Structure 1
């Protein structure tokens, strides 16, 4: 009776090798996700942290809430932004989304698009 059990085990394949082979697609999916999603996100977060640590007085920034302002004072965790003449607000350093995009750059990009559209028709 025991010989039948040994024969059935041998016919099933090499137990450990078969189990590892079934995990190969899962491992490949994880590698693809790492290189396409996780790694670029970590790189972007590291760049944003470096930007936040290099903020100084006079920088023009945009908050995550969409408030444009100029930094007039800063501490370790709090920035004071001047959003209008003599109107200052305090925001957390983490609330800064990035640098303020200059209006000239926007209007130049818009002008180029309009020229391209008008020359195409």
Structure 2
């Protein structure tokens, strides 16, 4: 008989603090959204902008690395495509977005052997 009024009082107190209790429950979810924004979404947007700027700056004579790992020299630049010479006399037409890295003309390629 004594337990029933105590439970009723506790339930009434929780119901009175409804908006505050809801805010406290939503606070971790809001925190996770902010955390995901700063750790995942924002860096990905920054990398995407850098990649678009790199692709826009591709010019004839640059050495490029494609997403497939093929390295070649740019011989022709169009709006959405690039002509890449992968071997002497072998030119491949590639979509610009598939360019993973642009190397400058004077940048040397790394050596295959490891120096110790």
Same fold (TM over 0.5): yes
Residue 69, structure 1, aligned to residue 72, structure 2: yes
Which runs of structure 1 show a deviation greater than 6 angstroms over 4 or more consecutive aligned residues? none
Q: Deviations over 1:18-54 (max 9, x none)?
A: 1111010111111111111111111111000000001
Q: Which residue, 47, 58, 61 being the options, matches 1:58?
A: 61
Residue 94, structure 1, aligned to residue 97, structure 2: yes
Shift of 1:8: 7.6
Which residue does the alignment assign to 1:29?
A: 32
Q: Deviations over 1:56-91 (max 9, x none)?
A: 000000110111100000110010001111110101
Conserved? CA contact 2:64–2:74, under 8 Å: yes
Residue 83, structure 1, aligned to residue 89, structure 2: no
**If the length of structure 1 is used for normalisation, what is the TM-score?**
0.77
Which residue does the alignment assign to 1:118?
A: none
Structure 2 stretches lacking a partner, 5+ long: 1-8
CA distance in 2, matches of 1:80, 1:24: 52
Q: Which has the higher contact order (CA 8 A, sep 6+)?
A: 2
CA distance in 1, matches of 2:113, 2:33: 39
Task: Say what the alpha-carbon RMSD is for the aligned residues.
Answer: 2.2
**If the length of structure 2 is used for normalisation, what is the TM-score?**
0.80
